[in-house]
Amino acid sequence: MARRNIYFKEKTEREVQDLVQIEIQNGATHGDVNFSSVVNELVGIGLMVKKHQGEGSKFDLDGFNRDLIRKVSGSREGISIMMAMLSEMYLRMRGEDVESGLEGIIDSNLSGMHAAEDKAESKHFLSEEQ
């Protein structure tokens, strides 16, 4: 990672610190979230927005959403692959039969990932009233 010395307006610095504190209060550790990681995330989002701006102040929402979905689905697929690899390593380390136990442990891990996604979604988004 490149290291840059930059200056922030006090208000911007306070807002980033507030975001860090919110994440820590929600259970993240200082290793999971810190000032640098939050600023990096915000700059990435800002660059995506800037990239999708057309002439003047026109914003290409469809292009932004397409790019966002592509990045999220790529991350999710990568996590699924890593989970499968770690599950296989775990079974081999325990000396169990990989062929018979792998499908069950991967299914269990993917179910846990889906449950975590649903929990995060309900925490961050309003549910539609029926």
For the chain, give the mean pLDDT. 82
Q: Are residues 69 and 116 in the same domain?
A: yes
Q: Is residue 75 part of a domain?
A: yes
Same domain as 39, residue 81: no
Residue 83 CA from chain centroid, whole number: 15
In the DSSP assignment, the letter for residue 116 is H
Q: Residue 91 falls within a domain, yes or no? A: yes
Please state the domain count of the chain.
2
Average pLDDT of the residues in 39-45: 89
Residue 129: inside a domain = no
2, part of any domain: no
The two tokens of residue 25 are 């209060």
In degrees, to the nearest 5, what angle opens at C-alpha 71 toward C-alphas 11 and 18? 20
**DSSP alpha helix (H) spans, 26-97:** 35-51, 61-94
Range of the domain at 93: 61-124
Task: Assign 60 a pLDDT band (cuts: 50, 70, 90).
Answer: confident
Query: CA dist 104 to 81, 98, 101, Å?
Result: 15, 10, 6
**One domain, residues 40 and 67:** no
Report, as an integer, the average pLDDT of 4-19.
90
Each residue of 67-120: pLDDT tens digit? 888 888 888 888 888 888 888 888 888 887 777 778 888 888 888 888 887 887
Q: What pLDDT is stored for residue 90 in this prediction?
A: 84
Q: Is residue 130 part of a domain?
A: no
Q: What is the pLDDT of residue 13?
A: 92
Asked whether residue 130 carries a pLDDT value surpassing 50, the answer given is no
Considering the domain architecture, whether residues 47 and 79 belong to the same structural domain is answered as: no
Q: For 105, phi and psi rounded to 5 degrees?
A: -70, -35
pLDDT at 11: 92
Give me the pLDDT at residue 30, please. Answer: 83
Instruction: Report if residue 22 sits inside a domain.
Output: yes
DSSP category for residue 128: P
Of the given ranges (5-9, 93-97, 107-111, 126-130), which has the lowest mean pLDDT? Answer: 126-130
CA 63 to chain centre: 20
